[in-house]
Structure 1
Amino acid sequence: MIKSQRADRLQGSSRAVRILGSLAGALAIGAGFGAATAFMNALSLSHADLESRAYTESGWSYAEIISVLLDSGWAWAGCGVVVGWAVTRGDGGRRSGLALGATAAALALIAATIAYGIGEAIADGGQTPWFGADELVWGTAAIVLGAPLGAIGACARWPGALGLLARLTVPVGAAVQMIVLPPGRNEVVQAIGKTIVWTAAAVSIALIVAHFVVTRRRSRPAAETP
């Protein structure tokens, strides 16, 4: 009985450490994503000649394209989904996996919002505060939207149709945003962004569906195979 209790305690302690490690990793991913987005925004502005009418109407740079891609709604949502998927690796319980994915994604997006605000303040020379009304709004959105996005990421590890739909969320969402609200300050930037996102989304969807079909065929019982 004592050995069994010790084993249960060790197992519980090991799981707690693993969960804390996963949450710490989620914070690191979110902070890195937010900082990278702020850095690319600042870099794109440094390459932009906004006083030039020609550049304003049709100019672009590689830094600006990367900035537009990172600072899009689908990319931030994708960060939450990816974190939810990453932290649930090896988690046996579906319910616990959903809770862990939701919590980790919310924390990651909060960290991303804070890191983004700090990065913007640094790029602005400290003239604006790193936390203001915008950060409060996006921080609230990180909690409200981050939790379901993380749960979707956890579902992406599930087999079956539900797992397939979860895995398709990011590429489909990205493609839809390019139709409804394409990012970019002029038509050229928007066109480049659309081409990149639509191409990546189409390839991702094709690979995800193909992998699902192949996996389903391999998992059929031997008796059902011709």
Structure 2
Amino acid sequence: MPEKPALYVAIVATASGALFGAGTSLVNDLSSEYGTFGRGLADSPFVPALKVSSILFDAGWSWAALAVLTGWYAVWARRGAERAAPIGAACGALALLGASVGYFCADAPLRREPLSSHLVEMVVWSIASLVLGPLLGAIGSQVVRKGLIGMFAGLAVPAGAVAQTLLLRVSEPGRTGAHTTAEAIVCVAAAAVAVFVLARTLRARRLMDVPPEPGARTPTAEAPITRSVMDDHLG
């Protein structure tokens, strides 16, 4: 696959964030019996699934995961660009910024309120996106690495998801079956991702310990960074 232009990657990051934010607002509306569209689904069999989806999309870790995934995508699309961390950081910020704006732009009409009434919240969350997005995007840019750095970067989202789920559990009387289901999904998914990341790291270390065959070419210190990053990603 040819390397994508930087502008294309930035647009994809921003658009993905906007769709995520608007989608989160829509799912929240659909899952509520007081929502513009949700009131018509009060007796629908899809309501339990919508409530679980709302809990998952509304969680802070899922927004962090958006920035991390966008950071990973940016490096993949740019074919392991030499400055992976800055590219990932920029796209992480754009994704969260797009998500914040998209959320409030969708939330206002769904609540039948003017956008101006959400302006302060939108500015606050946009600033937070520009502060936290670069860090999360930079973490995502390191996921392609198969050493310890790549392992820790790959474990960041599942660890954060489990921590938030267990430490910020909804207590009675507000707790419902949807919360229990969402917590189970988070824990199972986080465990699966953690196993994959750890297995990838162990496999990479075993391959490094295998002595090269006689006459085989070995990478040199002069090899460009772009090759080393992509070799890690594709290997």
TM-score bracket for this pair, using the shorter chain length = 0.7 to 0.9
Per the alignment, residue 20 of structure 2 pairs with: 33
The answer for the alignment partner of 2:204 in structure 1 is 215
Distance in 2, Cα, partners of 1:188 & 1:26: 34
Unmatched segments (≥5 aa) in structure 2: 36-41, 214-235
Cα distance in 1 for partners of 2:29, 2:180 equals: 22
How high is the TM-score relative to the length of structure 2?
A: 0.77
Matched, 1:105 2:105: no
**Aligned equivalents of 2:5, 2:118: Cα separation in 1:** 31
Secondary structure at the counterpart of residue 65 of structure 1: helix
1:62-211 paired onto structure 2 within 5 Å = 62-89=49-76, 90-93=79-82, 96-127=83-114, 129=116, 131-182=118-169, 185-211=174-200
Q: Is the 8 A contact 2:88 2:137 kept in 1?
A: yes
Structure 1 residue 216: Cα displacement? 2.1
Deviation of 1:127 (Å): 4.3
- Measure, in 1, the Cα distance between the counterparts of 2:189 and 2:59: 15
Number of residue pairs matched by the alignment: 198
- CA spacing shift, 1:130–1:156, aligned 2, 3 Å: farther
TM-score by length of 1: 0.80
Deviation at 1:192, TM superposition (A): 1.6
Kindly state the Cα deviation for residue 133 of structure 1 after the two structures are TM-superposed.
Answer: 1.8
Query: Could you list the runs of 5+ residues in structure 1 that have no partner in the other structure?
Result: 1-13, 49-54
- SS of the residue aligned with 1:158? coil
Query: How far 1:220 moved relative to its partner?
Result: 2.9
Cα RMSD between the aligned structures? 2.4
Q: Deviations over 1:136-190 (max 9, x none)?
A: 1111110110000000000111231011000010011100101111369424332
